[in-house]
Amino acid sequence: MANLPWEKIEAVISNAAIRTCLLTGPPGTGKTTAAHNLAAKNGQAVFSVTFSEDMSAQELIGHWIQGENGFKWNDGPAISAWKNGGMLILNEIDKASGSTLVELYSILDDATVAGKTLSSGETVKPSPKFRVVATMNGDAADLPAALLDRFQVKIVVDMPHPQALARIENESLRQAVANAYESADGWQGLSFRDAMAFMALLNAGFDVATAALAAVGPQKAEVFERIMDIGARELPGK
């Protein structure tokens, strides 16, 4: 079964009934951008977290800080999003581990039961407007079952947004990027971000070889040079 096209992805995650959403798929497909766009559409403040294996729970929930009159509690992004009815964007959620993983279970709990007493003694519950979009480049099945179960929808985003692809000005390169994401083996290392960096250097006046080496390095530079050569040979009169 094919994955959802972008128009349906946007329709699903925009639905008011969807409070927690997981977007998976290769890099450069616009998963995080989709979350930011949704927040802008809803007029929500964005609170963003990028997980790593050594991230602490305090970075997610909050901690005490030294103030002028002693220590005071400082809310972390998850609790700030709860209180403000904001959009909590959880990047690289598959990297969450240890204490952060434990805290995620309570942050992502169903709205009817979610609640938490902070170290400050304050008890908080999520605002009805609170929403979560989590992203990862791997397979959702790699997440702990208890974490995966807390997401109402789990969507594979396997293709950059059409509007994003349209920003790649060179037709041959744009098609090559689209083909790379559509290939039977999935994304093959020719990413949207690589193409945009390459085009930016070309537009700045650099030659193809220099732009390719600077944007993607020697391992992939030849691919970009070959694509541009094919595109040049396909021009009228060639």
Cα Rg of the chain, angstroms:
21
What's residue 238's pLDDT? 35
pLDDT at 234: 47
DSSP lists the bridge partners of residue 62 as 75
pLDDT computed for residue 231 by the predictor: 63
To which residue do tokens 């109402």 refer? 152
**What is the reported pTM?**
0.88
Q: Which amino acid is at 163?
A: Q
Q: How far apart are CA 66 and CA 210, in angstroms?
A: 50
Residues in Cβ contact with 178 at an 8 Å cutoff, skipping those fewer than 6 apart: 159, 160, 165
Answer whether 158's CB lies under 8 Å from 186's CB: yes
Domain 6-156 belongs to what architecture?
Answer: 3-Layer(aba) Sandwich (3.40)
Q: Which amino acid is at 38?
A: L
Angle of CA points 86, 90, 96, to nearest 5°: 140
pLDDT at 190: 82
pLDDT recorded at residue 2: 58
- Contact in structure between 155 and 12 (CB atoms under 8 Å): yes
Q: Residue 93 in contact with residue 51, Cβ under 8 Å?
A: yes
pLDDT given at position 1: 45
User: In this predicted structure, what is the pLDDT of residue 91?
Assistant: 97
Q: CB of 146 within 8 A of CB of 177?
A: no
HSE-up (13 A, CA, CB side) for residue 66: 0
**Buried b or exposed e, range 221-230, using 16+ CB within 10 angstroms:** bebbbebbee
Q: Which residues of the chain have pLDDT under 70?
A: 1-2, 184-188, 231-238
Q: Where are the domains of the chain?
A: 6-156, 162-233
Cβ 49 vs Cβ 89: under 8 Å: yes
**pLDDT for position 185:** 61
